[in-house]
Amino acid sequence: MTVPANTPLETYEGDIAVAFGSQTKNVKLSVTVAVPNYSINSDSITFSTAARNATIIKTFNLQNTGNSILTNVRLANNVDSKFRFNVTTSQPFDLGPGATKALAMQAFIPFDTPIGSTTGGALSVLANQQNFTSAYNIIFDVESKLLIESLDIFVDGDKDSDVDNGNDMDLGNVDAEEKSDYKTVEFTLPLDSQVGTYPLKVHVDGTDENDVLHEQDWTVYIKVKRDSHDILIERASVFPETLSCSRTATMDVKITNLGNRNEDEARLRITNDDLGIDVNDGLIELDEDPDSSGNSYSVSRFISLPADFKAGTYPILVRAFYEDTILLKQQTIELKVEDCKKGGAQEEEPEEQGAAVIVQQGPSEPKGEVIPTLTGIEPDVTTEQPLVQSPMFIALVLGNLVVVGGIIALAAKFLVFAPK
C-alpha cells in the first residue's frame, strides 16, 4: 500500500474483497496515517569485569522504538583505540518498528583502566531516514579484586550488625592458598568528643601480581552519645610504686565527668587503713561540658611512712559516686613497700615531709592524652604491599569497633576468590 505524501493525518476505514477459490469475502480495513517517528532504545553499553589485560565479549539488543522502518542501518564508534572496541555483527541492515537486532561486540581492558566506571567513547547508529543518528556511551566498569564484604561494629562487646557500609594499617600479603585473613587496628577517641554522628572512612587498597592497583572505600556512621551519669577515674597513680629505703611517695587521683548532665553531688573516696589514707570529698560539682575547667576534680596526697613500716603490698581503693552515695566507678592502685637492704648503697633520703598531708586541688582540665573508660556509643545502622602473589581476587571483612572515651577496634578479614 502506498500512501500519498500529502495525505491528511487521520484514520481511514474501508472494505476490501478477499477472493479465494470460488468464494469472495469482504474484510474491513483500517489505516492510520501518522507522522513518521524514528527512534531506538536509549541506554548505555557497559562492559563489567574484574579482569584487566583481557578481552570481554558482550551482546547488546538494538531496538527500533519508533513507528517507521529504519533502513540501511550502519554503526560507527569513536572509542579510544586502547580498548580495541569492535562490533562483529554484519551491517548494514534494516530494522522495522518494534524489531530488535542483537549486536555482538568485544573490547580489550588494558592494565591502566582505573577501578570504577570509565567512558571510553560512543557507538553511533545511523540510518537513511531523515539522516537519522543516535549514540550510546561505551562504559567500562572495572570491579576491584579487593572488596570489603561486610563491616561489624562491637560496642562493649555487643555486636550491632546494622552498619551502612582512619587509620592506616599494612595488611601485608595474602597468598592464593589462603582463603581468609584478619587484621585489627585500635585507636582511642579523645575525652572531649562531642555528641553527634561522625563518619569513619575505611579505605582499602593493594596491588596484584601485575602491579595493578585495587581499592575500595566504605563509610561507617558512628553516633556518639553520653550517658546521664558517667564519672571517669581518669587518673589514679602512686609514685614511686615501690618504696625501700626512701619511704615517701605521692598519690594523684583525678575524676572527670563524661555524662550528659552536671553533677552537683559527686563524691570521691580513697582509702587504705594501713597507710592511713582516708579521703572522703563530697558535694563535688562537675560540669558536663568537656571544655569547661570544672569538668574534672583532682586530689594529691604525700605519703610518708616510718623507716620500720612493715614490708608488703598495700592496695589503695579509689571510688567515684554520684548523687553522693551511688557507686559508679572504682579502681585499685598498689603501693609496694620493701625492706631497706642494709650494707648496700643507701638511697638518698628526701627532705623532711612531716606528717602525712592531703593537698586537695581545685577542678582542672585533663592533661595530655588519656585512655578513658568506654562510654555509650551507637553505630548509625558505613602501605602499600602486594596483596596477592598469584592471580587471585581478594575481599575484605571489617569488624570490631568500640567508641567515646574508649578504644575503637577494627578487625579485618580477607576472602580470596579464584579468577573468573
Domain 231-341+352-361, CATH? 2.60.40.10
CA atoms within 13 A on the CB side of 340: 15
Domain segments of the chain as ranges: 45-142, 146-225+375-417, 231-341+352-361
Q: Quick check: do 45-142 and 231-341+352-361 share a fold?
A: yes
Q: Do 169 and 400 contact (CB within 8 A), yes or no? A: no
Domain 45-142, CATH? 2.60.40.2310
CA atoms within 13 A on the CB side of 259: 19
- Cα separation of 101 and 120, whole Å? 23
Q: Is the pTM of this model over 0.75?
A: no
Q: Do 252 and 237 contact (CB within 8 A), yes or no? A: yes
String of DSSP letters for 309-334: PPPEEEEEEEEEEETTTEEEEEEEEE
One pLDDT digit (tens) per residue for the chain, 420 residues: 777 777 787 888 888 888 888 888 888 888 887 778 899 987 889 998 867 888 999 999 999 999 889 999 999 999 999 999 999 888 899 999 999 999 999 999 998 888 888 999 999 999 999 889 999 999 999 877 665 655 555 544 444 433 333 334 334 444 444 445 555 656 566 777 777 787 877 777 767 666 667 777 777 777 777 788 989 999 999 999 999 999 999 999 999 998 888 999 999 999 999 999 999 999 999 998 888 889 999 999 999 999 999 999 999 999 999 999 999 999 999 999 999 886 544 444 444 433 343 444 444 444 333 333 333 333 333 333 333 333 333 333 333 333 344 445 554 444 434 344
Strand, helix or coil for residue 106:
strand
- Cα separation of 162 and 9, whole Å? 60
Beta strand 248-257 with 357-361 is unpaired
